[in-house]
Amino acid sequence: TVPGGPPRQRGSASVGGPPELRQLATGFNRMARTVTAALEQQRRLVADTSHQMRNPMAALRLRVDALRTHLRPTGERTYAGVNTELDRLETLLDDILALAAAEHRAGELTVTDDPGAHCDAAEVTLGRHRLWEPVARRAAVRLTAEAAGPVPAGCTDRELAQVTDILLDNAIKYAGDGAH
């Protein structure tokens, strides 16, 4: 048997039974460890590379901005094009960092096996709304939440807060100005 859950929380296949089955389970465990390590290494590489690109990108932006005062009228169009491409690169870099962060959070998401776990979804959601509302406002997104009363949910407060944070983070990032 192989326990489920996020890759970093999964166990190994049980090694028991006939020699052929034990050999197969040992090979499976080795393969699972290799795949998990490769995925973690890839995630770290993406995150580290993105962070390393931040400083040169900021320096390039400053240098291009400093050129503005030295432009001839014939260079305005080229300057605007360079700024547009810098904006695209910065957006792409932000998206890569967001993806790396989301993958990290998804790998860290904890789920309880306790069948008796429960929380008030309305209370958790309203709390997360209060936390995310200033972020949404800065992004020109209108975020509202209301509840008429308690809403029982079969998970812990922490689990629901984690999922809600991921959803709100993505919604705010990708909804666009004026979204509600």
Tens digit of pLDDT for each residue in 98-132? 766 666 655 555 556 677 778 899 999 999 999 88
> Domain containing 91: what range?
7-108
What is the C-alpha to C-alpha distance for residues 15 and 35, in angstroms, rounded to an integer?
Answer: 19
Whether residue 82 is predicted with pLDDT greater than 90 in this model: the reply is yes
pLDDT number for residue 6: 44
Q: For residue 58, what is the domain's CATH number?
A: 1.10.287.130
pTM, whole model, 2 decimals? 0.43
Percent of all residues in the chain with a pLDDT value above 90, rounded to a whole number = 21
User: Structural domain tally of the chain?
Assistant: 2
Indicate if 75 and 156 belong to the same structural domain. no
Indicate if 55 and 142 belong to the same structural domain. no
Indicate if 65 and 11 belong to the same structural domain. yes
The letter for the amino acid at 23 is Q
Indicate if 12 and 95 belong to the same structural domain. yes
Secondary structure (3-state) at 118: coil
Query: Is 2 a member of any domain?
Result: no
